[in-house]
Amino acid sequence: MSEASFMHGNQAVAEGAIAAGCRFYAGYPITPSSEIAEILSERLPEVGGVFIQMEDEIASMAAIIGASLGGLKNATATSGPGFSLMQENLGFAVVCEIPCVVINVQRVGPSIGLPTKAAQGDVMQARWGTHGDHPIIALSPGSVQECFDLTVQAFNLAEQFRTPVILLADALISSLREKIEIPDPDELTIVNRSLPTVPPKEFKPYAFSRGEVAPLPAFGKGYRFHATGLLHNEYGYPTEDSAIVSEWWDHMTSKIEDNLDQILLWEEMDLEDAKIALIAYGGTACAAAHAVTLAREQGIKLGLLKIQTIWPFPEETVKCVAEKVKRIIVPELNFGQIRLEVERINAGRATVEGIHRADGLQITPEQILDVVRNRE
């Protein structure tokens, strides 16, 4: 039976991590994510886990990679400046296919910016922050309940697809307090990494099967394998053979692209008869949802597509919305990072416009309605 609790977003993230099986956390305090570390410093020892405060975010990312290779579900939490420091090691986790969860509670940047103010300016950094072309999964909670639910999902996806997963929260949701339902552990779907079923001599730690993921044993359990940031063959040894590298790329991209039905999450609100659609995510989706309620009370046929999986981007879903409505409005706390994606996919079907702020203040339902009414 589920248990009702009243908590803020960062607490829900911490409890979601525990529920998902996280047993190792390494991090460095940074506003507005610090409560996650504070809570896990108490909660992890209670469930037999380990908490370490590292000297910086570079070391934090390295530590969770090591913990993952040792067989532990793991996480780190940070904000913009720390997320920037993590990028090189994040790329290493991508190329070595190491499951880990990176929580980024976004604030206004660049650099130190406005440490206590909310933003959504790290969307493209989550996709392309580490160098090179690479697949990535990033989720964006739009309520305190989703902070819990999507944290569990982030761990599940990391283990299932052997990849870093980014929980791209923001300061609006991290400090918001709401009543949420904590499911009974028996009601939760928890995914654990698959383990080898073949003898060590037959094991290929990076088997390049299209759309599939190789098992991942823990170091010290009898399966020796090489982890390297160099492009490698199925055994983990570096190679420059173009045929093998091409096969590796096909495997890396297909394990995500061939399984979008298991990755993409979104919610729809009043889109059945909508003439105008809002596309929103994270904390801004709260204001967007209320704007839809107010608009409907005034007879305006407004709907909402709330995106929960930011990367990979739900292209087909956005395309379906663009084919049904006349206008699309994208409110976000940046200068159009997701709006540009919507414009690309829309391809002239509907008119697309953005509502943008990066001054540390949230976009209100009234601001959204003003834009809706101007050209409704």
CATH number assigned to the domain comprising residue 338:
3.40.50.920
**What are the phi and psi torsion angles at 375 (to 5°)?**
-130, 20
pLDDT digits (tens, 9 = 90+) for 279-322: 999 999 999 999 999 999 999 999 999 999 999 999 999 999 99
Evaluate whether residue 176 is within a structural domain. yes
Mean pLDDT, range 87-105, rounded to an integer: 98
Same domain, 173 and 32: yes
Q: Residue 107's domain spans which residues? A: 3-187
Q: Are strands 137-139 and 74-78 parallel, antiparallel or unpaired?
A: unpaired
Q: Report pLDDT for 376.
A: 46
Single out the residue in 161, 187, 213 at which a domain terminates.
187
Same domain, 24 and 135: yes
Same domain, 183 and 273: no
pLDDT digits (tens, 9 = 90+) for 225-278: 999 999 999 999 999 999 999 999 999 999 999 999 999 999 999 999 999 999
Considering the chain, what percentage of its residues have pLDDT values greater than 90?
A: 97
Same domain, 10 and 134: yes
Report the distance separating Cα 287 and Cα 270, nearest Å. 15
Q: Which residue type does 299 have? A: G
Structure tokens at 346: 């829309």
Residue where the block lists tokens 């290929």: 204
Same domain, 15 and 149: yes
Q: Report pLDDT for 375.
A: 57
pTM above 0.95, yes or no: yes
Evaluate whether residue 14 is within a structural domain. yes
> Given pLDDT bands bounded at 50, 70 and 90, which one contains residue 1?
low
* The total number of structural domains that make up the chain: 2
pLDDT digits (tens, 9 = 90+) for 113-137: 999 999 999 999 999 999 999 999 9
Report the distance separating Cα 167 and Cα 155, nearest Å. 10
Q: Report pLDDT for 2.
A: 72
Structure tokens at 348: 């002239």
* CB-CB contact of 226 with 236 (8 Å): yes
* CB-CB contact of 167 with 101 (8 Å): yes
Evaluate whether residue 117 is within a structural domain. yes
> Given pLDDT bands bounded at 50, 70 and 90, which one contains residue 89?
very high
Report the distance separating Cα 312 and Cα 155, nearest Å. 16
CATH code at 44?
3.40.50.970
* CB-CB contact of 22 with 154 (8 Å): no
pLDDT digits (tens, 9 = 90+) for 178-222: 999 999 999 999 999 999 999 999 999 999 999 999 999 999 999
Q: Is the pLDDT confidence value at 105 over 90? A: yes
Considering the chain, what percentage of its residues have pLDDT values greater than 70?
A: 99
Q: End-to-end CA distance of the chain: give it in Å, rounded.
A: 46
Evaluate whether residue 226 is within a structural domain. no
Q: Which residues on adjacent β-strands are paired with residue 276?
A: 302, 327
Please choose, from the candidates 116, 126, 183, the residue with its C-alpha nearest in 3D space to the C-alpha of residue 149.
183
Q: Which residue type does 251 have? A: H
C-alpha pair distances (Å), 22 with each of 50, 60, 150, 192: 9, 15, 14, 11
